[in-house]
């Protein structure tokens, strides 16, 4: 019988044996687990480009591209010619990269999205040059030559179930890809419906997506209405002496009405002053 090989690792009395952990990066021959692990790690990085799941997440540096045929195109700004360009994304070595994994390779391909707090509309500003806003006039002509923002520089993003996004302007028309003479394409803003040419893929940085989730969470917590406890409220605003409280059906209705109208604190103080006055008269 062969002798058992004993471990030479030192062990101390009372030391618990450590359990062996399986490595997540060991795959089944297809590399799927390793790719999944790398993908999860990348999405946690603040600068990682991800797809938004809802309109409120579209903010900060933004990459906009369209799955055109035969090659996908992206919306970028040429600061030299001071105009919006639609150029093909597929470039030699990039042909093998899946469409939804594409990221901007130049600063000119990045737009900076800002929004007023609580507003459903956004503004898209160029990431290069002097920072001009994307705008659309009533004729559907799209440009980026204005340094100030107004109604024509406002866009309402609409996120669809397939992850694509449409941009609606102040005239309730959609931003779209339009083919012109010579096979060239340009942006227009006069489409009535959001079809294939009006839907874009949008990528944002993951830290802004998390920021949007935090804001939404705080907003929901702030909107939680406090419970209406007249007895407890009276002890705070109306009680005196030994903590005597005044409660009645008529006052209860009055307090409910005041709360709906947003003047609960004022009403409680008025009632307290009136009750004190009646007491000492």
pLDDT of 212 = 86
* pLDDT > 80? residue 112: yes
Pull the structure tokens for residue 186.
Answer: 């340009």
More confident residue, 60 or 34: 60
Q: Is the dihedral of CA 148, 153, 156, 162 positive or negative?
A: negative
* pLDDT > 60? residue 2: no
Task: Say which CATH architecture domain 41-220 belongs to.
Answer: Trefoil (2.80)
Of the candidate ranges 84-88, 175-179, 243-247, the one whose mean pLDDT is the lowest: 243-247
CA 17, 20, 23 angle in degrees (round to 5)? 160
Q: First CA to last CA across the chain, in angstroms?
A: 108
Q: What are phi and psi of 74, to 5 degrees?
A: -120, 155
More confident residue, 35 or 118: 118
CB atoms under 10 Å from CB of 73, counted, come to 19
Q: How confident is the model at residue 25 (pLDDT cuts 50, 70, 90)?
A: very low
The answer to whether 110 and 204 have CB atoms below 8 angstroms apart is: no
Pull the structure tokens for residue 107.
Answer: 């600063």
* pLDDT > 90? residue 76: yes
Pull the structure tokens for residue 203.
Answer: 């990528």
pLDDT of 30 = 53
From the list 130, 204, 196, 133, the residue with the least C-alpha distance to 170 is 133
* Residue showing tokens 């990348």: 42
Mean pLDDT rounded to a whole number for the chain? 79
- Please give the C-alpha separations between residue 83 and each of 77, 79, 80, 133, in angstroms, as whole numbers: 6, 7, 8, 11
β pairing state of 60-66 and 83-88: unpaired
Residues near 207 by Cβ (< 8 Å), separated by ≥ 6?
Answer: 46, 47, 60
Burial class (CB in 10 A: 0-12, 13-18, 19+), 70: exposed
pLDDT of 259 = 79
Pull the structure tokens for residue 202.
Answer: 């949008």
What's the rounded mean pLDDT across residues 184-208? 95
More confident residue, 115 or 136: 136
Q: Where do the structural domains in the chain lie, given as residue ranges?
A: 41-220, 230-280
Q: How confident is the model at residue 36 (pLDDT cuts 50, 70, 90)?
A: low
Distance between CA atoms of 249 and 236, rounded to whole angstroms?
A: 19
Of the candidate ranges 77-81, 145-149, 197-201, 229-233, the one whose mean pLDDT is the lowest: 229-233
Residues near 130 by Cβ (< 8 Å), separated by ≥ 6?
Answer: 147
Q: What are phi and psi of 225, to 5 degrees?
A: -75, 135
Q: How confident is the model at residue 205 (pLDDT cuts 50, 70, 90)?
A: very high
What's the rounded mean pLDDT across residues 153-159? 96
* Residue showing tokens 């705070």: 236
pLDDT of 12 = 45
Burial class (CB in 10 A: 0-12, 13-18, 19+), 120: middle
The answer to whether 63 and 108 have CB atoms below 8 angstroms apart is: no
Percent of the chain with pLDDT strictly greater than 90: 44
What's the rounded mean pLDDT across residues 51-61? 94
What's the rounded mean pLDDT across residues 175-180? 92
What's the rounded mean pLDDT across residues 106-124? 91
Distance between CA atoms of 135 and 277, rounded to whole angstroms?
A: 62
């Amino acid at each position: 019988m062969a002798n058992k090989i004993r471990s030479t690792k030192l062990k101390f009395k009372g030391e618990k044996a450590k359990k062996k952990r399986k490595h997540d990066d060991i795959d089944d021959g297809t590399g799927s687990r390793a790719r999944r692990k790398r993908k999860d790690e990348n999405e946690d990085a603040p600068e990682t480009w991800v797809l938004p799941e809802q309109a409120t997440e579209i903010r900060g540096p933004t990459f906009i591209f369209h799955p055109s045929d035969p090659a996908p195109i992206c919306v970028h700004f040429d600061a030299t010619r001071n105009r919006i360009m639609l150029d093909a994304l597929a470039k030699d070595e990039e042909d093998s990269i899946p469409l939804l994994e594409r990221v901007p390779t130049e600063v000119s391909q990045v737009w900076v999205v800002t929004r007023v707090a609580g507003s459903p509309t956004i503004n898209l500003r160029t990431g290069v040059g002097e920072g001009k806003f994307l705008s659309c006039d009533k004729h559907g002509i799209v440009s980026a030559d204005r340094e100030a923002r107004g109604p024509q520089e406002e866009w309402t993003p609409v996120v669809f179930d397939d992850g694509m996004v449409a941009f609606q302007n102040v005239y309730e028309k959609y931003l779209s890809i339009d083919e012109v003479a010579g096979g060239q394409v340009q942006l227009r803003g006069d489409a009535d419906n959001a079809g294939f040419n009006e839907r874009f893929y949008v990528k944002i940085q993951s830290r802004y997506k998390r920021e949007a989730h935090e804001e939404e969470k705080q907003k929901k917590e702030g909107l939680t209405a406090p419970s209406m406890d007249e007895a407890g409220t009276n002890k705070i605003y109306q009680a005196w002496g030994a903590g005597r409280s005044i409660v009645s059906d008529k006052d209860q209705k009055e307090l409910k009405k005041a709360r709906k109208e947003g003047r609960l604190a004022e009403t409680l103080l008025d009632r307290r002053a009136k009750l004190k006055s009646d007491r000492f008269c």
